[in-house]
Structure 1
Amino acid sequence: MSAVPADATGQHADATGQHAGSRWSAVAAYALVAAATQLLWLSFAGVSTVAAGHYGVSETAIGWLAQVFPLLYVVLAVPAGLVLDRWFRGGLLAGAGLTAAGAVLRLAGDDFLWVLAGQAMVAVAQPLVLNAVIGVTGRYLAAPDRPAGIAIGTAGTISGMVLAFVLAAVFPEAGDLTTMLGIGAAFAIAAAVALGVALRVPGRQPHTRPPAGLGALRIAWADRFVRRLCVLVFLPFGTFIALTTFAQPLLEPAGVSGATASVLLLINVVAGVIGCAVVPVIAARRRIELTMLVVGVSVAAAGCAVLAAAPGAASGFTVLLLIGFLLLPTLPVVLALTERRAGPAEGTAAGLIWLSGNLGGLVVATVVGLLVDHPAVAFLVMAAGALAALPLVGLLRPFLRARLGG
């Protein structure tokens, strides 16, 4: 029997092109758990008014059921990364278990405080799950498969947002809330079980533990390439979060109804799922990661400028579709670049990337929120924020050439 030839990286592929040691079941199960976190995060986004009436609280209070997620992520991103770098399987499984437990806790009583407690538990778990995307691919996939694995994990994450919007559309009434929460709990439990089964055997890829304590943070933050990636994602993802948060009120003066805006946002997220599954893989294979970053950021800036000049349903559809397909995939592209550099500090490095994106969302969304009565100005602010990231992309090129072989 002839030996299986090795590819350019030294990894061996079987007759189907799969590389030896890659266990895709772990990535698939991880994607389900990541989707569960986003499903639970946005459970009430489409039924805020109904939920407020049902629980006897204000819509602002219902908003906190979602706002608790980015706020806790900012606080817990780095600690969660340190946990994953030292105890990866235990940390990730704890995140999956807490996600399922929080989903169940929301059903403990038909009361706002129970729901808030469940949301807070899931928000604590979320950094342990999302920060693990690099770690799960690094431990369970051969090196050539990792960009595709990160793309699948990220696409799975965003697909949870799609599922949240769909459930809100299918169960829009107050009497449907318990059913909707029950479906979310069932999904989270099934995903946690699937991950537990998939991770029962350690990954076959070599991995070095970072030093104890804050060693992983020192390693990650000492890398100027990682720091520049953090700065890069701050404004574009802040722009994306602000756009999805305020698209409806900003487009309303142009005659775009709330129902139409909801459809546009759903199209935006569906396009993001498809883009995250496809664009990063192509970028990695053709070594055009920086080109795709430039394209994504440029499209976001141009799209927001178009909405400032000519807001409407047609322009909103085109812009949100393109931004979803081309801007959202820049996240897995950045994470794949991080994976190639982070080494033993991959969880902490991923945490820094997610932390920067969430901080950008809080800052840009806050500014845009203050301008919600001036749509053109708000869209131009978002365009400027995305455009400001372009020079940062060029600063990455020397690092890719010198150390990543790009």
Structure 2
Amino acid sequence: MVEVKLRSRWGAIAAFAVVGAATQLVWLNFAGVTTVAAERYDVSESAIGWLAQVFPLLYVVLAIPAGLILDKWFRSGLIFGAVLTALGALLRLVGDDYGWLLAGQILASVAQPFVLNAVTGITGRYLAEKDRPTGIAAGTASIFAGMVIAFALSAILPKSNDLPTMLWLTAIFSVIAAAWLIVALRTPGEHKPLHHRPDRNALKIAWSDPLIRRLCVLAIFPFGVFVAMTTFSQALLEPAGVSAGTASTILLVNVVAGVVGSAVVPVLVVRHHAEAALLVASLSFTALACAALALWPGQAMAFIAITLIGFLLLPALPIVLELVERRTGEAEGTAAGLIWMSGNLGGLLVATLVGLLVNHPKPAFLVMAAVALIAVPGAQALRRPIATLNTPN
């Protein structure tokens, strides 16, 4: 009997990548223009911050249900997320006021777990095993690419009168992304057996793994710092003389550095089995960089510190997700959901705290430094369980 070698279907990964980018674009549309948006819609900067914070809030609530749905009805769940993202982006165009913006953000935030939880699932279904680490890196990079687009739009369209144009461009992008994914997923992936169906104990299977539990706890801290930084850095840097356009450019460079880091760092880390070392180094440097921003705020320091944070901190995400994909099989959607849920819980908590300090930049940056520093011992403690995972059976 001749063995049939299934080919990887990269078209499905590309379509997923565009949808992943759309979710981040909708999420962070206002991160680089917080002050300008607050003036246009006659609300506080904290209210504009909630246009982003509603995403981690609802992710915490929906991460596990979305993971369970993806484990059982993968294509339908992912397409639902893509379509709902587009509808949320379109809803923001109904009226030029804060209420319609918030309604659209809430709708899109419901969609986000159905998309991001699918990073490991789509690679397992549409790629051969040898291509899956690359697929996870590509899918994760698309998330960062969406952030790049968001900050680029903020830098190009930084004025109050530019905001409607930004919203229209985001809606068009999201609709095209959803349509592409629907076409790309018209047939199921062939790389998981057709009879594969996780049982109702998927959550128990994922949570019973001690490594997954440790990764969930750890994810709270770097996610928290990153969400707070992207949501409020423009407002926090403004008193130091950094304009909205410059802040958007800084955030753009930050995520571009993260994309570059995600393409280079994980390859070296996996090759040398240095996953825990990378997590320790990235958290330690993030703490130092946030402390530097508290003590010596300014345009030059912001460019240096935030760019290096992006290069070292963002590659931690594909590394963690690759560990999850290797560790779990039948419950990978639920396991990924646990990681994302924990990270977004951290984002919600830290961003809320930083939002309360938005008019006091020094304490706000010191809070982010402390959050990163607290996580260093936990990252160090992962060396042994990750080493066990890296040891061939």
What's 1:339 paired with? 325
Cα deviation digits, residues 189-210 of structure 1 (max 9, x gap)? 1111221222222222125321
Q: Tell me by how many angstroms 1:305 deviates.
A: 2.9
Q: Tell me by how many angstroms 1:55 deviates.
A: 4.7
Choose 30-39 or 152-161, whichever is displaced more.
Answer: 152-161
Work out the CA distance in 2 between the residues paired with 1:110 and 1:246. 23
Give 2:168's match in structure 1, choosing from 168, 172, 182: 182
Whether the aligned pair in 1 keeps the contact of 2:53 and 2:351 (CA below 8 Å) is no
What secondary structure does 2:381 align onto?
Answer: helix
Whether the aligned pair in 1 keeps the contact of 2:31 and 2:232 (CA below 8 Å) is no
2:385 corresponds to 1:399 = yes
What's 1:362 paired with? 348
2:197 corresponds to 1:209 = yes
Q: Tell me by how many angstroms 1:349 deviates.
A: 0.9
Cα deviation digits, residues 247-298 of structure 1 (max 9, x gap)? 3444445444444333222211221122223322332344322222222122
Structure 1 residues 219 and 195, CA gap change in structure 2 (3 angstroms): same
Choose 368-377 or 196-205, whichever is displaced more.
Answer: 368-377
What's 1:290 paired with? 276
2:61 corresponds to 1:79 = no
Whether the aligned pair in 1 keeps the contact of 2:276 and 2:386 (CA below 8 Å) is no
Q: Tell me by how many angstroms 1:173 deviates.
A: 4.3
Normalising by structure 1, report the TM-score.
Answer: 0.87
Work out the CA distance in 1 between the residues paired with 2:157 and 2:30. 11
Cα deviation digits, residues 152-208 of structure 1 (max 9, x gap)? 111111211221222233334444443322221211111112212222222221253
Structure 1 residues 390 and 169, CA gap change in structure 2 (3 angstroms): closer
Choose 69-78 or 163-172, whichever is displaced more.
Answer: 163-172
Partner amino acid for 1:273?
V
What's 1:8 paired with? none
Structure 1 residues 259 and 54, CA gap change in structure 2 (3 angstroms): closer
What's 1:265 paired with? 251
Work out the CA distance in 2 between the residues paired with 1:332 and 1:107. 34
What's 1:17 paired with? none
Aligned residues: 389
2:26 corresponds to 1:40 = yes
Work out the CA distance in 2 between the residues paired with 1:73 and 1:82. 14
Report % sequence identity: 62
Q: Tell me by how many angstroms 1:134 deviates.
A: 0.9
Work out the CA distance in 2 between the residues paired with 1:243 and 1:174. 22
Q: What's the Cα RMSD here?
A: 2.6
Work out the CA distance in 2 between the residues paired with 1:109 and 1:58. 19
Work out the CA distance in 2 between the residues paired with 1:50 and 1:232. 34
Structure 1 residues 265 and 173, CA gap change in structure 2 (3 angstroms): closer
Structure 2 residue ranges without an equivalent (≥5) = none
Whether the aligned pair in 1 keeps the contact of 2:280 and 2:379 (CA below 8 Å) is yes
Question: 1:303-318, aligned counterparts within 5 Å?
Answer: 303-318=289-304
Structure 1 residues 316 and 53, CA gap change in structure 2 (3 angstroms): closer
Question: 1:4-403, aligned counterparts within 5 Å?
Answer: 21-52=7-38, 54-55=40-41, 57-206=43-192, 208-212=196-200, 215-372=201-358, 375-403=361-389
Partner amino acid for 1:293?
L
Q: Which has the higher contact order (CA 8 A, sep 6+)?
A: 2
Cα deviation digits, residues 71-117 of structure 1 (max 9, x gap)? 11111111111111111111001111111122222223444433332
Work out the CA distance in 2 between the residues paired with 1:355 and 1:266. 25
Structure 1 residues 105 and 367, CA gap change in structure 2 (3 angstroms): closer
Work out the CA distance in 1 between the residues paired with 2:50 and 2:240. 28
Work out the CA distance in 2 between the residues paired with 1:234 and 1:106. 30
Whether the aligned pair in 1 keeps the contact of 2:59 and 2:109 (CA below 8 Å) is yes
Structure 1 residues 171 and 288, CA gap change in structure 2 (3 angstroms): same
Work out the CA distance in 2 between the residues paired with 1:390 and 1:302. 12
Q: Tell me by how many angstroms 1:354 deviates.
A: 1.0
Normalising by structure 2, report the TM-score.
Answer: 0.90
What secondary structure does 2:31 align onto?
Answer: coil
Q: Tell me by how many angstroms 1:216 deviates.
A: 1.2
Work out the CA distance in 1 between the residues paired with 2:379 and 2:350. 20
Q: Tell me by how many angstroms 1:128 deviates.
A: 0.3
Structure 1 residues 285 and 372, CA gap change in structure 2 (3 angstroms): same
Choose 287-296 or 372-381, whichever is displaced more.
Answer: 372-381
Work out the CA distance in 1 between the residues paired with 2:390 and 2:132. 15
What secondary structure does 1:344 align onto?
Answer: coil
Structure 1 residues 199 and 113, CA gap change in structure 2 (3 angstroms): same
Structure 1 residues 397 and 58, CA gap change in structure 2 (3 angstroms): closer
Choose 268-277 or 150-159, whichever is displaced more.
Answer: 268-277
Work out the CA distance in 2 between the residues paired with 1:269 and 1:375. 22
